[in-house]
Copies of this chain bind each other. A is one copy, B any other.
Amino acid sequence: MLSFECDYNNGAHPAVLQALLRTNETKQPGYGQDEYTLHAKEKIAAACQCSNGDIYLLGGGTQTNQVVIDTLLAPYEGVLAADTGHVAVHEAGAIEFTGHKVLTLPQTLGKICADDVAVYMEKFLADPSHEHMVHPGLVYLSHPTEWGTLYTNDELTAIRSVCDTYGLKLYVDGARLIYGLQSPDTDVTLRDLANLTDAFYIGGTKAGTLCGEAVVFPKGNAPKGFFTSVKQHGALFAKGRLLGVQFDALFTDGLYETIGKHAMKMATELKTILTQKGYEFAWDSPTNQQFVVIDKQTKDRLAERVRFEEWEARPDGRFVVRFATTWATTQEELDELSKIL
């Protein structure tokens, strides 16, 4: 059975696993004080060109969103996010668990825009009861979004500008950042994210590690007491080396770039195949997730030989389904998929 249903169905990239093997025998201090974590942090800071950045390695995406949003917000503040945003829908209320409301914004293909943030803030401030309401404190966006779409530098700059106007922080969920950075259709770099945000994270789990996300506070602006907060949230690993070794490997010899490029090459190929086979795209995605509209018969036929994700049932009886490439996707898998489609 072929497996195109998501980008976390693999183990680790071989180079990452080899790094775990190679370093396994050394004795290391715990809780992120190991040498690999220190190296990883340096390399990530270099990649982001933020030499003063505070960098922390956490375990997973929801955990990272929970810890970072909770510590960046004042207790009476909430987070602005697309109503389709991961924090708004698919994190089982992990943000509310920490006492913060997710304030939703309209979106287009998963993207919010600066104007809608401004409109929200103007409406909030104009409401004579706004002191009885949750104060927006931070804008959350995912890049790529859950829909595979990307922000441009201009769009992010506009959002940053609105954030500055209204005293909001800006945080980018980069669970799939690797696929955004290597998309042929992007002008956004790690350096741009470091310049424009108060915090963002570089996803590892969907980018070749077994677990782990690297949070960057690019201006050395990690919230006070952050280490303790991480522990308080239950998010501190005793063997921080597990995260350190993996991110060290990812940011050595350009591995992160290389495997991102490969994944996007596979995505482009997948797009070509889908186009040639006459599939209707649900929308255009410039990243590793491709969404097509199929009828039930096709869905049933394909499901016998390939795993994909059912994204949405349409009122017309058809389905939006997702095929995802990853750093691990091979040409052989695409060839086989091509025969099935």
Contacts and interface: CB of A to CB of B under 8 A. Distances in A.
Interface of A: 3, 6, 8-12, 14, 17, 20-21, 23-31, 59-63, 65-67, 70-71, 74-78, 89-94, 96-97, 99-102, 126, 128-129, 131-135, 205-206, 210-211, 224-225, 227-229, 231-239, 241-242, 307, 310, 313
A90 to B, nearest CB: 5
B8 A27 contact: no
Contact of A237 (B78, B126, B211): B211
B62 A76 contact: no
A11 B24 contact: yes
Contacts of A234: 60, 62-63, 65-67, 91, 94, 97, 233-235
A76 B135 CA distance: 21
A205 B238 contact: yes
A235 B211 CA distance: 12
The listed residue with most B CB atoms (<10 A of its CB), out of A10, A70, A89, A132, is: A132
B67 A75 contact: no
B30 A9 contact: yes
A93 B242 CA distance: 24
A128 to B, nearest CB: 7
A292 to B, nearest CB: 18
A55 to B, nearest CB: 17
A100 B94 contact: no
Contacts of A229: 75-76, 92
Query: Binding site of A, secondary structure by majority: helix, strand, loop or mixed?
Result: loop
Contacts of A71: 75
A93 B20 contact: no
Given A9-B30, A211-B239, A242-B211, A232 B93 contact: yes
Nearest to A9: B27
The listed residue with most B CB atoms (<10 A of its CB), out of A133, A225, A231, A307, is: A231
Nearest to A175: B238
Contact of A93 (B3, B9, B78, B93): B78
Contacts of A26: 11
The listed residue with most B CB atoms (<10 A of its CB), out of A126, A206, A228, is: A228
26 contacts: A8-B30, A10-B24, A11-B26, A12-B20, A17-B20, A21-B21, A60-B234, A60-B237, A67-B234, A70-B75, A71-B75, A76-B228, A76-B229, A90-B129, A90-B133, A91-B132, A92-B132, A93-B99, A96-B99, A96-B101, A97-B232, A99-B99, A131-B228, A135-B228, A205-B238, A211-B239
A93 B233 contact: no
Contacts of A66: 234
A227 B62 CA distance: 14
Contacts of A237: 59-60, 211
B232 A210 contact: no
Contacts of A133: 89-90, 92, 228
Contacts of A231: 62, 91-92, 94, 131-132
B233 A97 contact: yes
